[in-house]
Amino acid sequence: MSDSITIRQAVLHDAQILTDLAYTTFWDAFHDHPANAPDDLAAYMAEAFSEEQIGRELADEQNIFLIAEIDGEMAGYARLIVGTTEEGVSAERPIELNRLYSHQRFLGKGVGQGLMVECLNTGRDLGCDVMWLGVWEYNPRAQRFYEKNGFSVCGKHVFQLGSDPQTDLLMQKELFTTEDTESTEV
């Protein structure tokens, strides 16, 4: 395996592969955490990652899905949503990084960072001034990743996982700074 990462924008006919990718990567990331009850995880995933739901999201022009592949194999994906915001996010033209996940076997291969760079570039290309996201309070690895990429905490919100209201930290990053331009060049 050459570990050459390619990233492309998803299209409508990618609904099935995105569904499988979203389901698998979310399950791998969160199924074994003791704070996640199996019934709550199953309920959330059944709703959020059905092929019908992913198809609706792909068809919505406010959503942008990016798929990372390594040697033709699906390695990870990201979902951006243009124009959404939360209290605490300081932006005139926001873009939300709603999901960024990698297959477990590709962790450490640059998939997440490659997707992050592409997400930031996409936000800039669309003229967005701030990218923001919610990250689970019990996910320190993801928090460190986002901090490394220049995001800082700006608030909190509730993420409903089945019947469990969980707390996400809100993080944001300005997209047009000198530091940002230097840190995202590949």
Strands 94-102 and 130-136: parallel
Q: Does residue 184 carry a pLDDT above 70? A: no
| Selected residue with higher pLDDT from 45 and 179 | 45
3-state secondary structure of 9: strand
Distance between CA atoms of residues 101 and 2, nearest Å: 21
Tell me the pLDDT band of 72, cut-offs 50, 70 and 90. Answer: confident
Report the pLDDT value the prediction gives residue 153, as an integer from 0 to 100.
97
Residue-level pLDDT at 155 = 96
pLDDT in tens, 5-14: 999 999 999 9
Average pLDDT over residues 33-52: 96
Contacts of 119 (CB under 8 A, 6+ apart): 66, 78, 80, 97, 100, 131
186 has pLDDT over 90: no
CA pair distance 122, 91, nearest whole angstrom: 16
- Considering the entire predicted model, what is its pTM? 0.91
pLDDT at 1: 41
**Band of the pLDDT at 54, cuts 50, 70, 90?**
very high
DSSP for 99-157, please give it.
EEEE-GGGTTTTHHHHHHHHHHHHHHHTT-SEEEEEEETT-HHHHHHHHHTT-EEEEEE
In this prediction, residue 122 carries a pLDDT of 98
Query: Which position has the token pair 């003791």?
Result: 34
- Across the range 102-112, mean pLDDT stands at 92
Q: What is the chain's percent helix, strand, coil content, to nearest 5?
A: 40, 30, 30
pLDDT one-digit tens code per residue, 170-180: 999 999 865 54
Confidence of residue 118 (pLDDT cuts 50, 70, 90): very high
Q: Is the pLDDT of residue 28 over 60?
A: yes
